[in-house]
Amino acid sequence: MSYTEFNQKVFKNPSIKWFDRIGIMEINNNRLAEITLAEGHYSGSYVKYQVRILHKDYGVITTKDFMFKDYLHLPAKTDSWGDIKNFFVTVKDNSYVDWHLSPPSEDDLKRLTDAITDYIDCFW
């Protein structure tokens, strides 16, 4: 699926307008929230949503990262190198975007999206 389809599936919020990896949501007449599917240490490996609160006239007010590993629970397993596996999103076949391991549960996704929307609501 495309970035836009992936993010719409995760958030299920029609008030967020998605443009590939970036979503824009109007908070009030003066403020916007910019939600970005953001990379980690490796290109094409997305490990968080970064939320920027923007004032329409003055620019960035604040930024906060919502790491997938903090909200999405995966049983402790290690890969062949002994590294603990974590949720992250990756690009497959040069255009297909999806979860690297398996999709997280609906409860985990709700915990992540609720944390993000609760944070955004603080700036209303």
CB atoms within 10 A of CB 15: 11
What's the pLDDT at 75?
59
pLDDT at 39 over 60: yes
**100: phi then psi, degrees, rounded to nearest 5:** -65, -45
Residue 82's region, left for phi above 0, alpha for psi from -120 to 50, else beta, is: left
35: which 2 tokens? 């939600």
Distance, CA of 70 to CA of 66 (rounded, Å): 7
CA-CA distances (angstroms) from residue 23 to 4, 66, 78, 102? Answer: 9, 15, 33, 23
Tens of pLDDT, residue by residue over 55-91, are 999 999 999 999 988 888 765 555 555 555 566 787 7
67: which 2 tokens? 């790491």
Q: Where are the beta strands (DSSP E) in 56-95?
A: 59-67, 89-92
Distance, CA of 62 to CA of 37 (rounded, Å): 17
What's the pLDDT at 16?
96
Tens of pLDDT, residue by residue over 45-59, are 888 999 999 999 999
Question: How is residue 73 annotated by DSSP?
Answer: -
